[in-house]
Amino acid sequence: MTVRERLRQNISAAFYRHGLLCASYPVPIILFTSASILTCCYPLLKLPLPGTGPVEFTTGVRDYSTPSHESQGDLSERPDWYRGPPVAYIQQVLVKAAVSPWDNSLVPVDVFRSPLGRVFSVLEEIRNHVYTDRSLEALCLQVTDLLPGLRRMQAVLPEHGCLLVSPGNYWQNRRDLFDADPDLLKTVHQHEPKGLHTSATLKDLLFGVPGKQTGVNLYSKKRVVTYTITIALSSYDARFVASLRARLKQLHPSANCTLREDHMVHVHFKEEIGIAELIPLVTTYIILFAYIYFSTRKIDMVKSKWGLALAAVVTVLSSLLMSVGLCTLFGLTPTLNGGEIFPYLVVVIGLENVLVLTKSVVSTPVDLEVKLRIAQGLSNESWSIMKNMATELCIILIGYFTFVPAIQEFCLFAVVGLVSDFFLQMFFFTTVLSIDIRRMELADLNRRLPAEAGMPPPKPGPLRPRETPPPPRPSPHTITLQAPAFRNLRLPKRLRVVYFLARTRLAQRIIMVGTVIWIGILVYTDPAGLRTFLAAQVSEQSPLGEAGLPPHLGVAPVFPGGDPTSTLSGLPAPEPTPLPENQSQGHRAAHPEVAPVSSPQITWGPEDEELWRRLSFRHWPSLFSYYNITLAKRYISILPVIPVTLHLSPQEAIDTRHPQDTHHAPPPSIKTSDLQTDLTLYKVAALGLFAGVVLVLLLFCLYRVLCPRNYGQNGVPHGRRRRGDLPCDEYGYSPPISEISPLLLRGHSMDIECLASDGMLLASCCLVGHIRVWDAQTGDCLTVIPNNGLRRSSSSGCWEHRDGWDHISACEAENIFPIRRRTTPARPALFGDQPDLTPLIDTNFGLSPPSQALSSSGFDFGGLVEKAYQEHEPSPTLAFPPSPPASQQRRRSLGDQPVLPPELPPQNNGDWDSSVWAMELRGNLIATGRSSGKLELWDAVEGSLRCSNEDGVSGITALAFLNNRIVAARLNGSLDFFTVEITKPLGLLQYRGPPGRGSLPPSPCYSSEDVISCQLTRSVQCAHQKPITVLKAAAGRVVTGSQDHTVRVYRLEDSCCLFTLQGHSGGITAIYIDQTMVLASGGQDGTICVWDVLTGSRVSHVYGHRGDVTSLVCTTSCIISSGLDDLICIWDRSTGIKLYSIQQEVGCGASLGVISESLLVTGGQGCVSFWDLNYGDLLQTVYLGQSSEGQSVRQLLVLDNAAIVCDFGSELSLVYVPSVLEKLD
Amino acid sequence: MAEDSSLSGGAPMHRGPYISMITNRTMNLLIRAAMLFMVGVFLALVLNLLQVQRNVTLFPPDVISSIFSSAWWLPPCCGTAAALIGLLYPCMDRRLGEPHKLKREWSNVMRCVAVFVGINHASAKVDFVNNVQLSLTLAALSVGLWWTFDRSRSGFGLGVIIAILATLATQLLVYNGVFQYTSPDFLYIRSWLPCIFFAGVITVGNIGRQLALYEYKVSQEKTHQD
């Protein structure tokens, strides 16, 4: 254990030093980290880019031989896939045909009808070619059936024979069908798929050239028709191919053709990723993103959430890249599919450490220096980080010893990734975090400066050590939270989201990004198609080599009638024999003959050499896949093309005309044709836009689904606020000790039951019945009123009774819950006919914490009373059932008192047998209501009983003390009004300072000489049918709420019942009324009603909580309610719309208070949290004690001097509003 | 989640608290079951795809149609099972009185799902030397999944029981010739199947618990009011 401790200390110290280092030199460290990331990623450059694009390898034709299956070691330049015979040899015969010279008597259809018609003769030639008893039939790739799904292509694609495709396939290679076809274009286009298609279309397959270059359309300017006849050969016979080439060249000479014929290209195709493989991959990525989203959502209380989330993601991603890079460096080539294992690696490495670090750092006290905060946060988390890391490494090591190659490789990557992730966390992320925190501090400082100008000097830092008593405060002052202008708007969150979207134009940007990504994907997946498309666009706009070059006057014949639209043509067309090609012999193709703008001219350029490159790279795979031949992981060899040039005379074109060709519609205007050509572009744009919109919608849906924060009025609060979890983290993360230590008021031996304050004094009463009076400023104990007599103790005096108590508890030391199990043997029976109901009643009805087991009974006393009667009959001294130990347990007010010392006779003026159920403090008078029905008035300073009243016998459940009137609500539903009268000297002495609430009429303060009497002025016997649960008084009104579902409003002066407010369908559990006559009530049915006190009408009615409403507070603009469901809901007061809700810890829901208009304080498990009311942001959490477990804050009282008093077990905590709040506003 | 709209539209204010609570609870149950069902269907589709994609032909339309036609009953079965298990887990937690405490956050649930998909991925794609090794590895992974994300004895027990039952059911189905595995090594099925079932049960149970987190307290209140 000592080794462990020492290790832990060492680690902690090391992390502390490291944190100091990181925060001190942020820039050099970030530079260093970036450099190391880049260095480690450098080997990645050598890796081939992942993708499915084909790979090429070029060999010479002359010395070509089919590669063997065995790899030949010395040929290092050969790719490893270049082994064995290819799937097929592709021989393309590239035909360029034109009707020349062009005649204006020709119709547009003539451009391609007769040139296409010549394909049949060329085909015939190829089919019949025989070279030394070898025919094409013997050499070509024989194909069988098409795949079953392709019935519609059966008429077009060859079956059961040579794989030989050409445009002639459209007409089943029959000239007569071709001649009979009235509309060639329709035939060609009827097989085209609708919409945008990125892969190879049938037109591409048959023509063998990109669709734009075929020239088969009515508006072709060049009037040259290009197509290929594609032959797939199963075996390569060099002599046959050569003879075919020679024969075709001889028949159809291409005069100026300088195509190179000495290279064949082998194209290797990667594995096709089908949609079936993509779906699981996409699923894993979606899960990954959901994980990242949920993780980074927890980053909180930093300057820039997005920045830190980005840094976290960058940390993880670059650690992965580093791991791949390092593994490559050391010769471990990744064989796994990177894209597939990547999400799992991210999940294994995880974002947890980063989040824990952030949380730890932001939980450090904000008034420390940034360096120290970082260092503290790091060292707080060092042990858990190291432990987690060691565990993960162990697991991965275990995985490594499975000896499965794939898993071993994965583990190797994961180990390197983990280590580099750790490195990056420690250096990169920590530094970014320090920069962020520093920015936050600077921003806060900047924001503070103008606000301070008009404000009184800020009060000294509230960080006070608990040993030294603080100096007395000059005057109680409230914090005025100056806020920026927009802060006062206090918009609902959904509106703020909308404004945020509008301000940043997020949607537009996302759409833009989506479009760009989509186009990028398009380019990536179909580079050839888009490139050809763009090339075609460019070439159409600027006809190269035609207008750009100076006219070659001497050679080029001018055909004046060449332009069909020209009106100059009156001359007959010249004879076509002087072919432009023949005249321009000897000129290179790159420097072509200049012809009239519209004359068809067949040129051969280097771009024709490998025209197939412009096809989609899925061209060949899709052609072969129609016959169920896969090219995945195989290759084909493409032989050099055979050029064929065809010139047709106009007469020939006219002869082959179909009768309907001349009736063809005249060419539409250029504009529409442009429109048609541009249609693809629009399609691309529209689709991109659509994709973007879909992306946005998807993101929105994801947001709605995954972030179900509820803004609606009646909605069920689903979204737990993760921010609220900071105090009670379920994440295996113990919050560091806050440096802001509250002032602990010690002295009570039992749990504190009642709390009352008037701003200057603070009175508390514990379960035993001791009342202590404290100075609310300094926390000094002024008076102790023990329950065994009128013994007055000084603030430092010892407490005699305590000895007796200790003795008793020592007697029952073996008992875990001595008090709760105590019987009351010596208790004199005051009411012989009544059982002791005291344990059954929760005096503090407004603050009933939710319970696990017993709370459902609510305030229904009937059953419990019955039970108590039954228990009372057989054994009056029966031990009470042991209370369950859970702290969430509803705390019963236990009327048990310690055994009276026998030598102390029961005194008349003090009722020591009943417990204090209600307590109020005004001036220096403490009014206590006891379970016996007795009302007592104590002097708070002297601790003496000034008067008591025993007019009622039913227990006082609630008290209100206003001016000189006391209202007591009793268990039997009656309401008693008392008047406090001071008979002797009338001089009112202020105890100390002005009373707190300025708006209140000053409470009377009494000197010790006064004779004070308390007279019952009026008793309303049946104020309610059932026990009164809440009693509140303000603005001259007394409001009572009862179990009988009604709220009654009384006038304080004449105790006249003004209204009976009905509207709840359950007992009233909470009431709020203030000076401005705002009355709100909450009931067991979970509804909250707002009433108009003047008219008694219901202003609004909202269904707020599941279960009882336990506490209600109103500010000028909103209503804050808490319920048994541990939710704190903030409602708009005027509209009744729920603004947001805060998830509280179990059992702490009821403790809340409002410090100012925009500051809410809630109690938690051993801590209090401060919230910004406008935004619902958690500002600060202050821990009340070292052991934050167990004790939860049940009562919380906001004093006027910006202090908060809350009960913390048997202690009281006086918390001054911490500095973060001033810093924020 | 989807509950917001259904409740804000469907719960009038004037309804009694008790009735509305009942409605809420049943609504909650239904919605939870529906979500779990969808999760189950989705996972079944994806993982089935993962399993069959080794025999993919080149034509995506055929693959899709074959997946949706051959075993149309499989996803609904998985969905129903997921809904049952996802509801059973929180219910059992409540009955046993030991609420699941470990790391109840959505990010953890996502992590769990990712690991589950990863286990499936490994079973489908990684080439192992023999089936014993594959099964042992997957078993270790599944138990690791349980340890990382669940750690409750009840979860383990329920997982094991359901895995055994599901394996038995699969055996019966295969025996009756409803479908078959390509290379069975454990009677009629693959021996890694129980591990996959176990991991799936843990995962779905995790999701179900996370979903039930919101309903936990309300239902508890209600049981006391009864």
Percent of chain A residues topping a pLDDT of 90:
0
Q: Are A725 and A359 in contact (CB under 8 A)?
A: no
CA-CA distances (angstroms) from residue A215 to A173, A200, A529, A694, A1064?
20, 18, 17, 37, 83
- Averaged pLDDT for residues A412-434: 87
- Cβ distance A147 to B59 less than 8 Å, yes or no, reads yes
Encoded tokens for A1036: 């001259």
Give the pLDDT score at A997: 39
Chain A CA closest to residue B103: A731
Which position has the higher pLDDT, A462 or B100? B100
Nearest alpha-carbon partner for A975 in A934, A1022, A919, A917: A1022
CA-CA distances (angstroms) from residue A664 to A182, A184, A218, A546, A660?
10, 11, 10, 29, 7
- Averaged pLDDT for residues B148-152: 83
Query: In b/e form, how buried is each residue of A728-746, taking b as 16+ CB within 10 angstroms?
Result: beebebebbbbbbbbbbbe
Nearest alpha-carbon partner for A680 in A523, A546, A530: A530
Q: What is the DSSP letter of B103?
A: -
The CA distance from B75 to B47, in Å, is: 10
Q: Are A858 and A1067 in contact (CB under 8 A)?
A: yes
CA-CA distances (angstroms) from residue A82 to A79, A337, A356?
6, 22, 52
| A224-233 vs A925-930, strand pairing mode | unpaired
The CA distance from A981 to A664, in Å, is: 115
- Averaged pLDDT for residues A577-597: 40
Give the pLDDT score at A277: 66
Q: Are A960 and A1164 in contact (CB under 8 A)?
A: no
**Unique residue bearing structure tokens 């750790």:** A422
Q: Are B83 and B36 in contact (CB under 8 A)?
A: yes
The CA distance from A1014 to B95, in Å, is: 55
Q: Are A922 and A1006 in contact (CB under 8 A)?
A: no
- Cβ distance A287 to B114 less than 8 Å, yes or no, reads yes
Q: Using CB atoms, which residue from B101, B128, B217 is nearest to A404?
A: B128
CA-CA distances (angstroms) from residue A150 to A159, A160, A615?
12, 15, 22
- Tell me: the pLDDT tens digits for A830-845? 444 444 444 444 444 4
Percent of chain A residues topping a pLDDT of 70:
63
From the number of C-beta atoms within 10 Å of its C-beta (0-12, 13-18, 19+), residue A606 rates as exposed
Residue B204 pLDDT class (50, 70, 90 cuts): very high
> 3-class SS at A678?
helix
| A130-131 vs A263-268, strand pairing mode | unpaired
Encoded tokens for A995: 């009373």
Give the pLDDT score at B67: 53
Q: Are A1079 and A1039 in contact (CB under 8 A)?
A: yes
- The neighbouring-strand residues paired with A226 are A96
The CA distance from A9 to A24, in Å, is: 22
Q: Are A1208 and A1185 in contact (CB under 8 A)?
A: yes
pLDDT at A741 over 70: no
Q: Give contacts of B67 with chain A, Cβ < 8 Å.
A: 276
AA identity, residue A487: R
Give the pLDDT score at A903: 39
CA-CA distances (angstroms) from residue A516 to A310, A617, A686, A693?
21, 22, 12, 13
The CA distance from A99 to A115, in Å, is: 7
Q: Give contacts of B106 with chain A, Cβ < 8 Å.
A: 290, 294, 706
Residue A936 CB partners (closer than 8 Å, separation 6+): A910, A911, A927, A928, A930, A945, A947, A948, A949
- Cβ distance A347 to B127 less than 8 Å, yes or no, reads no
- Helix (H) / strand (E) containing A644: strand A642-648
Q: Are A413 and A345 in contact (CB under 8 A)?
A: yes
**Could you give the ipTM of this predicted complex?**
0.78
- Tell me: the pLDDT tens digits for A971-1028? 787 888 888 777 655 444 444 444 443 334 444 455 555 667 777 777 877 778 788 8
Encoded tokens for A705: 């689904």
Q: Which of B23, B54, B106 should we substitute to test contact with A (largest number of A Cβ atoms within 10 Å)?
A: B106
The CA distance from A426 to A413, in Å, is: 20
Length of chain B: 226
User: What end-to-end distance do the CA atoms of chain A give, in Å?
Assistant: 47
Residue A25 CB partners (closer than 8 Å, separation 6+): none
AA identity, residue A855: S
Cβ-based contacts under 8 A for chains A and B: 175
- The neighbouring-strand residues paired with A1019 are A976
- Averaged pLDDT for residues B81-95: 88
The torsion defined by the Cα of A511, A515, A520 and A526, in degrees rounded to 10, comes to 140
The CA distance from A147 to A44, in Å, is: 41
Chain A CA closest to residue B63: A276
Chain A CA closest to residue B221: A856
Give the pLDDT score at A672: 44
Encoded tokens for B189: 């099925």
Q: Are A638 and A265 in contact (CB under 8 A)?
A: yes
- Tell me: the pLDDT tens digits for A1069-1081? 888 888 777 888 8
Percent of chain B residues topping a pLDDT of 90:
12
**Unique residue bearing structure tokens 């039997």:** A972
CA A137, A143, A144, A145 torsion: positive or negative?
negative
CA A1062, A1064, A1070, A1075 torsion: positive or negative?
negative
A708 upstream amide cis, omega within 30 of 0: no
Chain B CB within 8 Å of residue A1066 CB: yes
Encoded tokens for A1142: 């805060």
Q: Give contacts of A407 with chain B, Cβ < 8 Å.
A: 122, 126, 137
> 3-class SS at A1019?
strand
User: What end-to-end distance do the CA atoms of chain B give, in Å?
Assistant: 28
Give the pLDDT score at B121: 81
Residue A992 CB partners (closer than 8 Å, separation 6+): A760
State how far residue B51 is from chain A, nearest Cα, in angstroms: 10
Give the pLDDT score at A972: 80
* Range 281-320 of A in CB contact (< 8 A) with B: 283-284, 287-288, 290-291, 294-295, 297-298
> 3-class SS at A332?
coil
The CA distance from A1215 to A1194, in Å, is: 15
- Helix (H) / strand (E) containing A783: strand A781-785
Nearest alpha-carbon partner for A771 in B108, A788, A880, A759: A788
Residue B70 pLDDT class (50, 70, 90 cuts): low
From the number of C-beta atoms within 10 Å of its C-beta (0-12, 13-18, 19+), residue A1003 rates as buried
Residue B80 pLDDT class (50, 70, 90 cuts): very high
The CA distance from A955 to A854, in Å, is: 22
State how far residue A572 is from chain B, nearest Cα, in angstroms: 57
Give the pLDDT score at B160: 92
The CA distance from A1024 to A1097, in Å, is: 20
Chain B CB within 8 Å of residue A71 CB: no
- Tell me: the pLDDT tens digits for A82-141? 878 888 888 888 888 888 777 777 777 777 888 888 888 888 888 888 887 778 888 888
Chain B CA closest to residue A343: B114
Phi, then psi, of A791 in degrees rounded to 5: -80, 125
Nearest alpha-carbon partner for B23 in B210, B218, B220: B218
State how far residue A727 is from chain B, nearest Cα, in angstroms: 15
- Mean pLDDT, chain A, rounded, equals 68
Q: Are A156 and A177 in contact (CB under 8 A)?
A: no
Q: Using CB atoms, which residue from B117, B121, B218 is nearest to A1125?
A: B218
- Tell me: the pLDDT tens digits for A1128-1146? 888 887 777 777 777 776 6
